[in-house]
Amino acid sequence: LERIIGVFKLDTKVFQDIEQDQTATPQAAIVVAIVAALSVVGVLIGGVVGAVSGAGSGLGNTLLQIVLTFVMAFVNWIIWSAVTYFVGTRLFGGQADLGEMLRVIGFAQAPQMLQIIPCIGGLVGWIWSLVASFFAIREGLDFDTGKAIGTVVIGWIVVLVVNIILGSVLGIGTLGLGALTGMFQR
């Protein structure tokens, strides 16, 4: 909890401690799981609102969205960590290993817990998390500000492209599964 609070405060000492603590990877995974669980709550609320309004896509799709939301939180954590590790070490000469990046990037997602606040919480949490990721990358790769910004920008673009590709592939699969489950609900 102290580390999560330190991440919210953007305390560089906390990011340094997380980077160096090889036992903190499971803690980072817990942070990612909490963020994923809060995202699932959003999916559930959306499913309930959709069902009540008649615009819902059925229980099968809601369950699939829950699973995909949870799984993609971990996939994105791993991808973002791997991309920033690769970009930071290969392009900018940073010093880190993948475990260090997994730890600091995992904890940097803590501000996304704000998505529990309706309307503005998700946006504020996402922006705050992006800023926390900058601090995480700067400390995790032992960078100056310029190299950290470069790593964040390049890494974010790569992760965005990967997510668009994954979303396209999974979206098509989701549409197909939704059509199949819709046939059996009639």
Q: pLDDT tens across 13-58, in order?
A: 999 999 999 999 999 999 999 999 988 887 677 666 555 555 555 5
**pLDDT (0 to 100) of residue 33:** 96
Residues 6+ apart with CB under 8 A from 136: 15, 18, 104, 105, 107, 108
Tokens of 153: 């920008």
Q: How many CA atoms lie within 13 A of 141 on its CB side?
A: 31
pLDDT of residue 41: 83
pLDDT of residue 40: 82
pLDDT at 48: 61
Taking 70 as the pLDDT cut, the residues of the chain under it are 43, 46-61, 170-186
